[in-house]
């Protein structure tokens, strides 16, 4: 009887152990996603604080300074305030479209972060079509804005949604042509392979030097995709009150606010990956390895250094985009569309043809 009881206890222990392993496996699958979402959230809060501080410095005024040390918690305080505000819905609007629109804008942008290599082998999903996945997913965000404008039953909101769709279509084509030029140089559409192709030749192997015209076009097109000044026509206050978000309040308005900064951050990361070598930087990287006698077995140290380098390059571009917002005036809608279709599109197409010719001659 004692042996039988012991066997039963062993069987129960075995099943509990297997259950713990299953739970651990499930948690291990969701851990990278949780870490990525947490890092993105902290980065968005940091970008909002940086924009307020930089804009205050440019305009020679005092920025946020009361919520937390140096005002670093101001964005968190604003988000908490929006969370508890009343959520108003237009009485004659389409409630489903009105409610789904902000969520589509945010979710479509968050999915794009899965193909970003923040460091060496530190990527959520290394796909063979990583850069085109970003372009395809980013095309869904204007649909959410159009749904929001139409569902609001407001002519200003609807015009803002139409402008967002027209602007996205106009500037997504030059941006895609620039990405295609980079993929031809790297012989791959994977973001990891693009970084590896640039790291072979060190600092001078960055695509910034090999594709200077493409870099400028990508920079301008990414700002237009993010609807940043001077390309914020879908929400121009003096023309459309607030555009597609006129009727929104509370947390739904906050989702649009978060989506704009998420889009700006992902665009900055792709500038870093496609043109600035990603987590690769030649001279300091070699110096750190030789000084500390570190090899590839120290994975945590390599990953930390790579994340730091990637974020440093990303925030450099963010500084440029924030400074541009508070420096240049807003364009008219006809100027914006003419600039995209009649200027950027032919130049980006010529850059692609030139890149293709060089690749064919080099074979």
Residues with Cβ within 8 Å of 291's Cβ and at least 6 positions away in sequence, in order, are none
Rounded Cα distance between 39 and 116, Å, is: 13
DSSP class of residue 340? Answer: I
Predicted confidence at residue 334, as pLDDT, reads 84
Which carries the bigger pLDDT value, residue 85 or residue 235?
A: 85
Q: What is the mean pLDDT of residues 157-161?
A: 85
120 or 182, greater pLDDT = 182
Chain centroid to Cα 347, Å, comes to 25
Task: Give the lowest-confidence range in 68-77, 134-143, 182-191, 297-306.
Answer: 297-306
Q: Where are the alpha helices (DSSP H) in the chain?
A: 2-58, 74-84, 95-112, 130-138, 141-151, 155-186, 191-199, 207-210, 212-225, 237-240, 250-275, 282-292, 299-325, 333-338, 345-362
**Average pLDDT of 53-69?**
84
**Cβ atoms within 10 A of the Cβ of 289, count?**
16
The average pLDDT across 176-190 equals 89
CA proximity to 214, closest of 124, 85, 23, 347 = 347
- pLDDT at position 254: 84
Residue 178 confidence (pLDDT): 92
Contact 47, 265 (CB under 8 A): yes
Q: What is the pLDDT of residue 145?
A: 85
State residue 284's pLDDT score.
46
What's the pLDDT at 363? 64
Question: pLDDT-derived band of residue 348, with 50, 70 and 90 as boundaries?
Answer: very high
Q: 110-124, pLDDT tens digit by residue?
A: 888 888 888 877 787
Mean predicted lDDT score pLDDT of the chain: 81
Q: Which residue has the higher pLDDT, 98 or 288?
A: 98
pLDDT at 143: 86
Q: For position 22, what pLDDT does the model report?
A: 66
Q: Are 273 and 117 in contact (CB under 8 A)?
A: yes
When pLDDT is averaged across residues 80-109 and rounded to a whole number, the result is 84
Asked whether the bond before 230 is cis by omega within 30 degrees of 0, the reply is: yes
Give the Cα separation of 37 and 238 in Å (integer).
35
pTM: 0.84
Residue 144 Cα distances to 43, 148, 241, 259, 267, angstroms: 23, 6, 19, 11, 18
> Above 70 in pLDDT, residue 130?
yes
Neighbouring C-alpha atoms within 13 Å toward the C-beta of 143: 11
Compare 214 and 361 and report the one with higher pLDDT: 214
Contacts of 63 (CB under 8 A, 6+ apart): 52, 53, 55, 56, 57, 71
Residue 8: pLDDT band with limits 50, 70, 90: low
Beta carbons of 222 and 134 less than 8 angstroms apart: no
- Say what percent of the chain tops pLDDT 70: 86
Phi, psi torsion values for 149, nearest 5 degrees:
-65, -40
User: Closest Cα to residue 141, out of 55, 29, 261, 313?
Assistant: 261
Does residue 81 or residue 34 have the better pLDDT? 81
Distance CA 132, CA 175 (A): 11
Q: How many alpha carbons lie under 13 Å from residue 314 in its C-beta half-sphere?
A: 27
Q: How high is the pLDDT of residue 218?
A: 92
- Say how far apart CA 40 and CA 255 lie, in whole Å: 14
């Amino acid at each position: 009887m004692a042996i039988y009881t012991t066997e039963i206890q062993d069987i129960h222990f075995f099943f509990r152990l297997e259950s713990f392993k299953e739970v651990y496996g499930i948690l291990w699958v969701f851990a990278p996603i949780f870490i990525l979402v947490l890092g993105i959230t902290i980065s968005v809060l940091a970008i909002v604080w940086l924009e307020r501080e930089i804009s205050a410095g440019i305009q020679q005024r005092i920025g946020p300074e009361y919520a937390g040390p140096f005002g670093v918690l101001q964005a968190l305080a604003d988000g908490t305030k929006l969370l508890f505000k009343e959520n108003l819905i237009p009485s004659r609007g389409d409630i489903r479209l009105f409610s789904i629109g902000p969520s589509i804008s945010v979710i479509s942008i968050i999915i794009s972060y899965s193909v970003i290599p923040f460091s060496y082998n530190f990527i959520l999903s290394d796909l063979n079509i990583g850069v085109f996945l970003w372009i395809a997913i980013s095309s869904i965000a204007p649909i959410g804005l159009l749904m929001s404008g139409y569902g609001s039953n407001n002519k200003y909101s609807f015009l803002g949604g139409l402008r967002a769709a027209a602007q996205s279509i106009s500037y997504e084509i030059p941006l895609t042509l620039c990405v295609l030029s980079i993929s031809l140089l790297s012989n791959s559409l994977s973001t990891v392979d693009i970084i590896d192709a640039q790291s072979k030749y060190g600092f001078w192997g960055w695509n910034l030097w090999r594709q200077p015209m493409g870099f400028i076009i990508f920079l301008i097109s990414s700002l237009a995709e993010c609807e940043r000044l001077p390309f914020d026509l879908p929400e121009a206050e003096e023309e459309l009150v607030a555009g597609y978000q006129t009727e929104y309040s509370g947390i739904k308005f906050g989702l649009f606010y978060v989506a704009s900064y998420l889009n700006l951050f992902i665009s900055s990361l792709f500038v870093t990956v496609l043109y600035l070598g990603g987590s690769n930087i030649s001279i300091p990287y070699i110096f750190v390895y030789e000084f500390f006698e570190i090899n590839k077995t120290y994975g945590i140290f390599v990953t930390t250094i790579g994340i730091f380098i990637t974020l440093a390059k990303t925030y450099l571009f963010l500084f440029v985009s924030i400074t541009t917002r508070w420096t240049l005036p807003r364009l008219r809608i006809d100027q914006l569309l003419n600039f995209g279709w009649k200027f950027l599109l032919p130049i980006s197409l010529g850059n692609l043809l030139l890149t293709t010719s060089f690749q064919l001659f080099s074979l």
